[in-house]
Amino acid sequence: MATITKREIVSDLSDQTGLTQSDVAQIVESFIGLVSKRLSEGHDVTFRTFGTFEVRVAKAKIGRNPNKPEAEVRIPNRCVARFKPGRELKEAVASLPPEKLGAE
């Protein structure tokens, strides 16, 4: 299973749109910055049919240091970004054969 990099996305979008890779890279960077800014302000970001990036609070919990398991460490509440896939994305992923990902 290969990982797709931002560089590959820029190259593919450049090929599809006819824009230069430099222009597409600026657009992608601006897009990532805008999504990050909105999430850091506490807003959810939704892309219809793809999914929603949500800001949620992860509850406080007790953690342990693997090197010192007898010592408890309190992990406070914190905000985290979560992704909730949309219906079309869920269906597309569900249609993948498990063998393609190496599952037995």
Read off the pLDDT of residues 3-31 as tens digits, 9 standing for 90 and up: 899 999 999 999 999 999 999 999 999 99
Q: For residue 42, how far is the Cα from the chain centroid? A: 16
What φ, ψ does residue 82 adopt, rounded to 5°?
-125, 150
CA angle centred on 35, ends 30 and 38, rounded to 5°: 120
Segment 32-49 shows an average pLDDT of 95
Q: Return the pLDDT at 6.
A: 95
Query: Which fold would CATH assign to domain 47-99?
Result: HU Protein; Chain A (4.10.520)
Confidence at 1, pLDDT banded by 50, 70, 90: low
Average pLDDT in the chain? 92
Segment 69-95 shows an average pLDDT of 93
pTM to 2 decimal places = 0.74
**Structural contact between residues 73 and 62, judged by C-beta atoms closer than 8 angstroms:** yes
The gap between the terminal CA atoms of the chain, to the nearest Å, is 15
The domain spans of the chain are 1-43, 47-99
